[in-house]
Structure 1
Amino acid sequence: MARNIFKGLGIALVTPFTADGQVDYKSLKRLLEYQIDNGADFLCILATTGETPCLTQQEKDNITQLVKDVNHGRLPILKGCGGNNTAAIVEELKNSDWTGIDGILSVCPYYNKPSQEGLYQHFKAIAEASPLPVVLYNVPGRTGINLKPETTVRLANDCENIVAIKEASGSLEQVDEIIKNKPKRFDVISGDDALTFSMVASGAAGVISVIGNALPKEFSRMIRLEFRGEYEPARKIHHAFTELYSLLFVDGNPAGVKALLHEMGFIENQLRLPLVPTKVSTLQKMAEILKDLRI
């Protein structure tokens, strides 16, 4: 029976672009080495923060290969594979080369708003087709549909290779209900940096993090302190990031974290339309916080 290996700090990897809008593979390689060397426990590629809807298939393939080459087996890799056409996802799962990938992250179907039974059947079909463990991704703010706790638990019980859920509903009550009723082998992973401290304290296995792109050492330390039951020093780290959590998302994701990474000298502050860079005033506030944190 499959078990979840995606624990601790997962990085929701950005896709850097050059000033002329091309994928910046050189900066991506540098960023990966920085994250691996500074506390990341696993990598999550080609999902929301990676601006995946705006990438060509060739770019997705190139990014996947670069991540595998740079990582060289050091950390588990979770790769996005989801959408709102069940048959197309099943076809992709059956026909793609998953060598070097350790799991699939599959988002709730967006736009067509299925019922809970439709969501169950969608993910059941994905689980049956997937050659790798599946992590569900619930983010109703983006998809327009909430995967309810009872449906999550039903999937966890019925599908052996559904091993976890990235929970980004923003509801700690929903998280608690899943953790209370889930099978032991199934994990909840935070999909919201600002709620990670509370979710880990409630029993979550870690986070797929946006802020971890820029501050992996600090954020992974908070999680590891919690795992050891050292909540007071972990809480201090959490509180030090409180304003930064808000600034990272006030102008949309990944605009905030890309601005932060640009301020730190890692990447160009470039996104692909329809996304645009964060406001100058937001960037200035983040720069001040970095000075206060001595980063």
Structure 2
Amino acid sequence: MNPIQGVGVALVTPFRPDGAVDYPALERLLAHTSPHVDFWVVHGTTGEAATTTRPEKNEIFDFVRKNNPRRLPLVYGLAWNDTRQLLELLEKTDYQGADAFLSAAPAYNKPSQEGLYRHFKALADAAPAPILLYNVPSRTACNMTAETTLRLAQHPNIIGIKEASGDLGQCLDILRHKPAHFQLLSGDDALTVPLISMGATGVIGVLPNAYPQIFSQMTHLALAGKYKEAAQKLYQIADILPLLFTEGNPTGIKAVLKLLNICETTVRLPLVEPTDKLLKQLEEKMKSL
């Protein structure tokens, strides 16, 4: 059985005010989320993978691996917009303990669908652990179509996709025609319940960093077919979800975590820390949670 299903949290990387990785805060975050989520994702977008160094990435993943008393499955974010360099990076990565790799479509290049197919096929051919595709056109400027996803789904080392296109029709096409071993995970917190009702097997989310229990309840109610009850949980978090992204991710979720006394709001440029206005808005919405 594929262990990468249910609730995955795209872990933030806490930083101290001086910009260094804050390992005590990361330990607090792991302890906060571990009892409620089904797997952890390290070095995703929310973890500021774009601005952490290769030594930091190895150290952070090793720290997470060693502070995992429940032995949650670990997904390692690994992406690049140069296929050759990505394969070289794969050889240099300390991925011991990774149950899967999450790899976003190449950004900036805007490859054709054939280019996307060949990129991910080359990665899947070389990777020592299964691949989760990540389609996030709002960041990559390139949407991977359902046709390309289904073509890649035939590869035995590609086990699923984190779909963050926001296109329910595209997700439906994937879910209707995918092979049995291939799964679709929601890449949008707010679409978790509707996507599960269509056949998705879980989510890789941002809000579970802060509210893992209610998010897990919502997701598992939906997975059990209790959509009405799951929707009620979704309504509880609906007001806070848009605020997480108004000033960028992970700026919003780090602001929530600061208000929960888990980590600082420090992010690395070109991201900037939350405004006082956002902090006040979040604090007000958090009262209901």
TM range (shorter): over 0.9
TM-score normalised by length of structure 2: 0.97
Task: Specify the SS of the correspondent of 2:153.
Answer: helix
Greater helix proportion: 1
Counterpart Cα distance in 2 of 1:208 and 1:246? 16
Correspondences of 1:140-155 after superposition (within 5 Å): 140-155=137-152
Matched, 1:270 2:266: yes
Counterpart Cα distance in 1 of 2:245 and 2:96? 34
Matched, 1:185 2:193: no
Q: CA RMSD in A?
A: 1.1
Question: Which residue among 192, 207, 217 is the counterpart of 1:196?
Answer: 192
Task: Specify the SS of the correspondent of 1:110.
Answer: coil
TM-score normalised by length of structure 1: 0.96
Matched, 1:161 2:157: yes
Question: Which residue among 19, 26, 29 is the counterpart of 2:27?
Answer: 29
Letter in 2 for 1:26: P
Query: Once the 2 structures are TM-superposed, how far is the Cα of residue 69 of structure 1 from its aligned partner?
Result: 0.3
- Post-superposition CA distance 1:117-161 (Å, at most 9, x none): 00000000000000100000000000000000000000001x101
Residue in 1 that maps onto 2:104: 107
- Post-superposition CA distance 1:156-181 (Å, at most 9, x none): 01x10100000000111111110011
Question: Which residue among 48, 63, 80 is the counterpart of 2:77?
Answer: 80
Unaligned runs of 5+ in 1: none
Query: Once the 2 structures are TM-superposed, how far is the Cα of residue 278 of structure 1 from its aligned partner?
Result: 2.1
Query: Once the 2 structures are TM-superposed, how far is the Cα of residue 221 of structure 1 from its aligned partner?
Result: 0.3
Correspondences of 1:62-81 after superposition (within 5 Å): 62-72=59-69, 74-81=71-78
Matched, 1:226 2:222: yes
Counterpart Cα distance in 2 of 1:97 and 1:44? 15
Q: Which moves more between the two structures, 275-284 or 120-129? A: 275-284
Task: Specify the SS of the correspondent of 1:83.
Answer: coil
Matched, 1:205 2:232: no
Matched, 1:170 2:166: yes
Counterpart Cα distance in 1 of 2:48 and 2:240? 21
Counterpart Cα distance in 2 of 1:45 and 1:89? 17
Residue in 1 that maps onto 2:210: 214
Question: Which residue among 254, 270, 273 is the counterpart of 1:258?
Answer: 254
Aligned residues: 289
Residue in 1 that maps onto 2:4: 6
Task: Specify the SS of the correspondent of 2:4.
Answer: coil
Do 2:76 and 2:95's aligned partners in 1 also have CA atoms closer than 8 Å?
no
Query: Once the 2 structures are TM-superposed, how far is the Cα of residue 88 of structure 1 from its aligned partner?
Result: 1.2
Gap change, CA 1:95 and 1:272, over 3 Å in 2: closer
Task: Specify the SS of the correspondent of 2:13.
Answer: coil
Unaligned runs of 5+ in 2: none
Q: Which moves more between the two structures, 274-283 or 138-147? A: 274-283
